[in-house]
Amino acid sequence: MRDQLALLRKCLRDDVPAVVISAKDICSVPVLRHYLDEAISRGCDEEFIEDFRAVLNGFILFQQEEPENVKVPDL
Protein backbone atom coordinates (compact mmCIF):
# COMPACT_ATOMS: atom_id res chain seq x y z
CA MET A 1 0.00 0.00 0.00
CA ARG A 2 2.88 2.30 0.61
CA ASP A 3 3.62 2.70 -3.08
CA GLN A 4 0.49 1.95 -5.01
CA LEU A 5 1.82 3.57 -8.19
CA ALA A 6 4.86 1.26 -8.19
CA LEU A 7 2.58 -1.75 -7.78
CA LEU A 8 0.39 -0.61 -10.68
CA ARG A 9 3.43 -0.03 -12.89
CA LYS A 10 4.76 -3.51 -12.07
CA CYS A 11 1.41 -5.06 -12.98
CA LEU A 12 1.31 -3.16 -16.26
CA ARG A 13 4.91 -4.10 -17.06
CA ASP A 14 4.31 -7.77 -16.26
CA ASP A 15 0.91 -7.86 -18.00
CA VAL A 16 -0.90 -8.71 -14.76
CA PRO A 17 -4.54 -7.58 -14.50
CA ALA A 18 -5.00 -4.70 -12.07
CA VAL A 19 -7.74 -2.26 -11.15
CA VAL A 20 -7.68 1.33 -9.94
CA ILE A 21 -10.40 2.47 -7.55
CA SER A 22 -10.83 6.18 -6.92
CA ALA A 23 -12.18 7.77 -3.77
CA LYS A 24 -14.55 9.63 -6.11
CA ASP A 25 -16.30 6.30 -6.80
CA ILE A 26 -19.37 5.93 -4.57
CA CYS A 27 -18.79 2.15 -4.50
CA SER A 28 -15.18 2.39 -3.31
CA VAL A 29 -15.59 2.46 0.47
CA PRO A 30 -17.89 -0.60 0.68
CA VAL A 31 -15.59 -2.50 -1.69
CA LEU A 32 -12.48 -1.59 0.30
CA ARG A 33 -14.16 -2.53 3.58
CA HIS A 34 -15.00 -5.94 2.18
CA TYR A 35 -11.44 -6.35 0.90
CA LEU A 36 -10.08 -5.47 4.36
CA ASP A 37 -12.33 -8.07 5.98
CA GLU A 38 -11.17 -10.65 3.44
CA ALA A 39 -7.50 -9.76 3.97
CA ILE A 40 -7.90 -10.18 7.72
CA SER A 41 -9.73 -13.49 7.39
CA ARG A 42 -7.05 -14.84 5.06
CA GLY A 43 -4.25 -13.95 7.45
CA CYS A 44 -2.49 -11.02 5.77
CA ASP A 45 0.27 -9.67 7.95
CA GLU A 46 -0.40 -6.81 10.34
CA GLU A 47 1.70 -4.29 8.41
CA PHE A 48 -0.39 -4.87 5.28
CA ILE A 49 -3.61 -4.61 7.31
CA GLU A 50 -2.53 -1.33 8.89
CA ASP A 51 -1.42 0.12 5.56
CA PHE A 52 -4.73 -0.90 4.00
CA ARG A 53 -6.68 0.63 6.88
CA ALA A 54 -4.84 3.89 6.25
CA VAL A 55 -5.85 3.78 2.58
CA LEU A 56 -9.47 3.03 3.52
CA ASN A 57 -9.48 5.88 6.03
CA GLY A 58 -8.16 8.21 3.34
CA PHE A 59 -11.07 7.24 1.09
CA ILE A 60 -13.57 7.77 3.90
CA LEU A 61 -12.09 11.15 4.75
CA PHE A 62 -12.13 12.26 1.11
CA GLN A 63 -15.78 11.27 0.73
CA GLN A 64 -16.73 13.09 3.92
CA GLU A 65 -14.86 16.25 3.00
CA GLU A 66 -15.82 16.33 -0.69
CA PRO A 67 -19.23 14.69 -1.05
CA GLU A 68 -19.96 16.75 -4.16
CA ASN A 69 -17.14 14.88 -5.95
CA VAL A 70 -18.38 11.39 -5.05
CA LYS A 71 -20.27 9.92 -7.99
CA VAL A 72 -21.52 6.70 -9.52
CA PRO A 73 -18.56 5.38 -11.53
CA ASP A 74 -18.34 5.71 -15.28
CA LEU A 75 -15.65 5.69 -17.89
For the stretch 18-70, pLDDT in tens is 999 999 999 999 999 999 999 999 999 999 999 999 999 999 999 999 999 99
The number of beta carbons lying within 10 Å of the beta carbon of residue 28 is: 19
Q: Where does the pLDDT of residue 2 fall: very low under 50, low under 70, confident under 90, or very high at 90 and above?
A: low
- Is the pLDDT at 72 greater than 90? The verdict is yes
Question: What is the pTM assigned to this prediction?
Answer: 0.87
- Is the pLDDT at 3 greater than 90? The verdict is no
The number of beta carbons lying within 10 Å of the beta carbon of residue 64 is: 9
Give me the pLDDT at residue 4, please. Answer: 86
